Structure 1
């Protein structure tokens, strides 16, 4: 039954992509809105790039520590301990990468949805709510789907 979470995960990724495309197709607003949105976007991306460099280094160190602890404290022959340590560290790194991908895409869409939400609010509050909720939901769906 391994195919069930795989298919559900792929469907959730597809739905997140649909939500992102919905948000990113919306009007970006007036030039003043776009100017503010671009400044926010640049700041958010600079923050994410710096944060992710630090997290990547820490994730590699944590994976090495996890592998070392499992190898040193594991039971069985050395080949079995090495295999368990290596696979666990690799799974940890894959999880960290998936988490990073969902965070980056989620932040990208959320920041890009700001001016689109403001622009939609000039037309109707319902449309603004729809744009903002869908923009925020991208991150949630990606976190869950990539963990499957």
Structure 2
């Protein structure tokens, strides 16, 4: 790896940490705002309790699935041939990869373990973003409502809180994504593309899962509230 490449990797890592620090600062700014009246907090506590219950149930459902998928992902290295970088790193001839079975097996084991760990890492980062993003969204809602109640600059304050609550999730996503991808490049070097397959799959798969489940949960809550309103 050249000096320039090492410098650029350090720059990317620095950007990742800056994104995470900025996300922490945004969260701190949101939580420092007032929550509003007792009546507002009473309604908000019901919303918060429902959101946290959903997140806890989601976490308990996802973790066993991730363990099973990570094991299955390990064995995918026996279906496909290594990438060019992996072949170069382990001295494998792509025209005849079975010429050196020991090198091929070593590459498969190392890449398989890396791919599974990267999958867990990507899914874990995605889960962190979803969990913390949902929590800060719930926390910011009542504070935005309170900010609009008084003061000449109430709309500016409300927009500031809204911006901070939404940008927190974006900065957390960017920071963790850059950090995870760069860590894999540093550890695996030429074989990084094979391992990054697991990282990308874990992050996107979990994001899709949480998105679909979130829509179902929201719709179920909407229908339930509608039925309660009609009955009462």
Is contact 1:71–1:82 with CA below 8 Å preserved after alignment?
Answer: no
Is contact 1:71–1:84 with CA below 8 Å preserved after alignment?
Answer: no
Matched, 1:106 2:129: no
Aligned partner of residue 18 in structure 2, secondary structure: helix
1:57 to 36, 61, 64: 64
Scaled by the length of structure 1, what TM-score is found?
Answer: 0.93
Query: Matches of 2:62 and 2:170 in 1, distance apart?
Result: 20
Structure with higher RCO (Cα < 8 A, 6+ apart): 1
Query: Where does structure 1 differ by over 2 angstroms across 4 or more consecutive aligned residues?
Result: 71-77
Matched, 1:126 2:156: yes
1:41 to 45, 48, 57: 48
Q: State the structure with more CA Rg.
A: 2
Aligned partner of residue 106 in structure 1, secondary structure: helix
* Structure 1: runs of 5+ lacking an equivalent: none
Aligned partner of 1:94 in structure 2 is: 121
Deviations 1:81-130 (A, max 9, x none): 11100001101101111111111111111101111111001121121111
Scaled by the length of structure 2, what TM-score is found?
Answer: 0.61
Deviations 1:11-62 (A, max 9, x none): 0000001100000000000001111111111110110111122222222222
How many pairs align?
148
Aligned partner of residue 22 in structure 1, secondary structure: helix
Aligned partner of 2:74 in structure 1 is: 67
* Structure 2: runs of 5+ lacking an equivalent: 1-7, 83-102, 179-232
Matched, 1:116 2:143: yes
